[in-house]
Structure 1
Amino acid sequence: MRLLSYNIQKGYGGRDRRYNFERTIAAIEHENPDIIVLQEVDHNERRTRFDNQPEILSDYFRYEATDYQFNHRVSKGGYGNLLISRFPFHSVTQVCLKLKHRKKRGAQVVVVDSPEGKLLLVGWHLGLKEKQRHAQVNHLLDHVDLQDNLDLPTLIVGDFNDWRNTLAKGPFAHHGFEQLTRPPSRFRTFPAYLPIGSLDKAFCRGPINVSDVRVVRNQLTKEASDHLPLLVDFHLERPEESGNGKP
């Protein structure tokens, strides 16, 4: 199975600052992902021609399941996170990660009914302050939906805004997660045209075999957003594989 995580910057190019949603879609489609996890997806905003981007993406890919989390209001519209999956969702929970006066943030927690079994997936876009991000991660990892599904293979992906990579040895290590996007020097995603920051990350826990994790760096992705997409190829382990101690 293939998962793509991508901060699409509302369809604006990272260098030319032009709105070109067809370019965004092409960058996603080129990788043929089974599960798409997007951040900064606009809805009813003048800057993006009042496009309903969640609907446009859902109609274009025509996958089995979608979930849009509207996080930040701007005028009569705003933006948020979007999940699109070839496979149905067994359950969907939207978790608010807003802290006091900070910008509203959120996480989508879904159980995906994949052909290989159930997968617990979290997609999110964390805050800009380090202390805020640690609080958001701790809140999410202590959330009842994660605690009730500890036996499920789990992937957490998105725009972490974690410039100094402090989350890996903090709350994620405490909760038994492995960072897939390490060392950070191999997973620089921002800014797309000359990446210096490893902001888009992936963590996993449980019986998951990850065959490849990479940043999608080509001419299209260098132009389509200010972030580069992150790609994760993986399979869920069968119970007998886990019992045999396979990685």
Structure 2
Amino acid sequence: MSPSASLPTPLRGLRILTYNVHSCIGMDRRLDPNRIAEVIARSKADIIALQELDVGRKRTGGVDQAHTIATLLNMDAHFHPTLHVQEERYGDAILTALPTRLVRAGPLPSVGETRGAIWLEVTVHGHRVNVINTHLGLRARDRMQQLATLLGEEWMGSAAFGALPAIICGDLNAVASSSVYRRLAQRFKDAQLLAGRKPRPTFPSRFPILRLDHIFVSKEFGIAASDISIDRLARRASDHLPLMVELDLHAP
């Protein structure tokens, strides 16, 4: 067998979605994880980054929202709690049916509401890809500290992260003019900008005016498409709209 015969084929049409689900409480104040799962299912995403999930919390009926949504989508959930009080948890997750390995999950420096990130290595048709999901804070100073941690040697600055193509996604609470966005854009590509159409906002879902939810990718990726669900279901299901991008990755 020649060396080229063992290389993975080019990866086409990998769909990534990021979505702040607001504890599955919609703009109509209805609690409905099934509705969130329906919004996600319409995107046909392969890897889903979710923020603001409740697990075992009294306020949302004690449901494990990460597990429930993953089950409805026939996927596995990798959940990281940023808040853990007794049996109640709240945090972020990555859902996928693809083979995965948890690399790291941990807190980020926070004042007030705690923040964190989760990093998986995902294998897609022979290609290994790093995926990080995070939800940054509301204060600019906190966001800068949190991003500095993510860019540090335990996360994106590590050899393990730099060795593979990478996807960074989440609710960054940062618009394109912010310091956090500009610093991240110095190292990675904003997927919406590469899609060949004007970037669209994701918050608030009824009348979106702010682009707070982002997907950044390393230079190995090309963008085939970008989409934000703006139909009636998505506008009601959460206070954010889901952002989906379709990626291509060429074989080395």
For residues 128 and 85 of structure 1, the distance between their equivalents in structure 2, rounded to whole angstroms, comes to 28
Partner SS for 1:227? coil
Indicate which of 239, 244, 249 corresponds to 1:231.
244
Structure 2 CA distance for aligned equivalents of residues 22 and 80 of structure 1: 18
Change in Cα spacing, 1:165 to 1:86, as seen in structure 2 (3 Å) is farther
Q: 1:114 aligns with which of 115, 124, 140?
A: 124
How many pairs does the alignment contain? 234
1:61 to 73, 97, 104: 73
CA distance 1:145–1:191, change in 2 (3 Å): closer
| 1:71 alignment partner in structure 2 | 82
Match of 1:211 in 2: 224
Aligned with 1:128 (options 124, 129, 138): 138
Whether contact under 8 Å (1:153, 1:208) holds in the other structure is yes
* Long gaps (5+) in structure 2: 1-13
Q: Deviations over 1:188-231 (max 9, x none)?
A: 11110000111101111131121112211111100100000000
- How does the TM-score come out when normalised to structure 2? 0.86
Partner of 1:180: 191
What's the TM-score, normalizing by structure 1? Answer: 0.88
Alignment RMSD (CA, Å): 2.0
Q: 1:18-97 to 2 correspondence within 5 Å?
A: 18-63=30-75, 65-73=76-84, 76-97=87-108
Contact 1:116/1:236 (<8 A) preserved: no
Question: Shift in Å at residue 103 of structure 1?
Answer: 1.8
The letter of the residue matching 1:18 is R
Aligned to 1:226, what secondary structure does the other structure show?
Answer: coil
Which amino acid is 1:180 matched to?
A: A
Preserved contact between residue 106 and residue 124 of structure 1 (Cα < 8 Å): yes
**Structure 1 gap ranges (5+):** 240-247
Percent identity between the two aligned chains = 27
Rate the CA distance shift 1:152–1:83 in 2: closer, same or farther, 3 A. Answer: same
* Counterpart Cα distance in 2 of 1:114 and 1:47: 37
Indicate conservation of the 8 Å contact 1:12/1:20, yes or no: yes
